[in-house]
A and B are shown apart, each in its own frame.
Chain A
């Protein structure tokens, strides 16, 4: 026996709440509709061809997809070991009173806006890349076949490598925070059992803690990938923004999908150009949905306490 007030309240709260799935549907539907002219014109070759010529109305986003994959790959390879190592240190080794403040500090750093990371990368890291780091990499690895070609070519500092490095720094806090949560969710009885058998702390970490947290750590890495994948402003400032063809060298100025959108949306004068830019957003949207669903399933499986932490 629900009163009229109850029905009204439930109805209005429910109606507002349903705006959430409705918005998600609207975003997906509208982007698909606006991208349809480009999808119809180019089909799957949109993702594999690399000619992006607004004048001739030929649009292939292959180089942008390549740029996103390369920068994201660099970011994860650089950031994951550091983040996981630091998370292990903070949960298993650091003196107990320092754990919470350090964790809080890193959580706050996750809130630094991406434009600030970009600013720092642009004015501080890029000159260092150009003068020191990239020449050093080139002289060290340049002579080795295959590997050397990764570090070949003229050095400008604004390139895919730099984009990957700034992404690595940006996803470090989120990787670290989530991994720490996951490790903290490993029951301490597991640790005590191992220590009681005479194991060293590192043996405890490798034989008990990491196997227990494996799925959650994989989830953390996937969340980091998702973050890096769609990150825009920091990358836009340092990646070079050039529609050059795919080259094996990481020192090539390029575009990621997100930075291509941010740099070209004001120029979309023809309908097909507009549609092609929206199609890039559709690709980002679909990848984000799949990747996030996967990551959250993995983290949930570890049973990490997610309370209060909104990612």
Chain B
């Protein structure tokens, strides 16, 4: 670039060239600063979570339940179990719907209904999670069930997960080469056999990615769980009673006026972020290996 600028000569042009060069250098500095600022801020947040969270981590933190108000000690065990249960049940609800939607859109794409499903999934992905929370709160908590319940939290998370599973799975199914489908069809296999025995096994790794990604994303949701599962300081596996969850526990530890509980909030955040980051990283590596081979 500099060589190209230097090649042009002429006395009158020199000043113009210099101005262009100065502008170029200024913009490099400005844009670089923006990048540093963005990266720095986000690194700062991660740094705080790690530094403030690490002191909270000991065995009791993972095995005990929260203590009564103001009492030092206690842990996040019910929240870990609660998040696991709520997340798994949400997955059981959301995965068949999401994968079916993807199959419907990709393998039966002729229909106008496929476009409807696709568009609805896009709009659902854009719903604020608090709106989903209010919906389940009004529908299940205040209506059908009558009290705050773990299952209501699962339904709320499922509504959030369906579009994530569906749209990721859609991309995955599109990557399956058409020649495979055509070969199977040419051998006389009916359409459903092609999907079940050829397309889905081929896309297996990608579909697993879609599912785990959706569960990881949903695991961090707080607002919809607050309105549905509510939280619980006791161990409870009853899906029709209030249930603890990791994000809710962070919130409850954070808003309490005790330093020890604040440390626990940071510790719980570290656990949550570590799980989500580990899952995304492992998936990324798995995908890279899958495409390389």
* Interfacial residues, chain A to chain B (CB-CB below 8 A): 2-3, 5-6, 8-10, 12-21, 23-24, 26-27, 30-31, 34, 81-86, 88-90, 93-94, 102, 104-106, 108-109, 111-120, 122-124, 169, 172-173, 176, 195, 198, 200-203, 205, 226, 229-233, 237, 258, 261-262, 265, 274, 277-278, 281, 284-285, 288-289, 291-293, 296, 307-308, 310-311
Contact = CB atoms under 8 A, between A and B. Distances in A.
A89 B35 contact: yes
A10 B126 contact: no
B124 A200 contact: no
Contacts, number: 277
B280 A106 contact: no
A207 to B, nearest CB: 12
B198 interface: no
A13 B34 contact: no
A27 B135 contact: yes
A3 B280 CA distance: 41
A295 to B, nearest CB: 8
A153 B31 CA distance: 35
Contacts of B4: 198
Contacts of A16: 96-97, 100-101, 104
The 10 A-B pairs with the shortest beta carbon distances in the complex, nearest first, are: A230-B128, A113-B220, A85-B34, A292-B126, A9-B192, A16-B100, A17-B104, A21-B120, A281-B134, A232-B223
A118 B279 CA distance: 22
Given A111-B217, A200-B1, A27 B127 contact: yes
A96 B226 CA distance: 44
Given A6-B191, A20-B162, A310-B125, A277 B41 contact: no
A162 B116 CA distance: 40
Contacts of A232: 128-130, 222-223
Contacts of B255: 237
Interface string B244-276: 000100110011000000100110010011001
Contacts of A124: 48
Given A118-B254, A281-B135, 6 more contacts: A6-B190, A34-B138, A82-B37, A93-B28, A108-B280, A119-B265
17 contacts: A13-B100, A13-B103, A16-B96, A17-B100, A23-B162, A30-B135, A31-B134, A82-B37, A88-B31, A89-B34, A111-B276, A116-B269, A172-B42, A200-B20, A233-B247, A292-B123, A310-B168
Given A10-B108, A19-B97, A232-B128, A307 B171 contact: yes
B162 to A, nearest CB: 6
Interface in B101-121: 101, 103-105, 107-108, 113, 116-117, 119-121
Contact of B190 (A5, A15, A274, A281): A5
B38 A27 contact: no
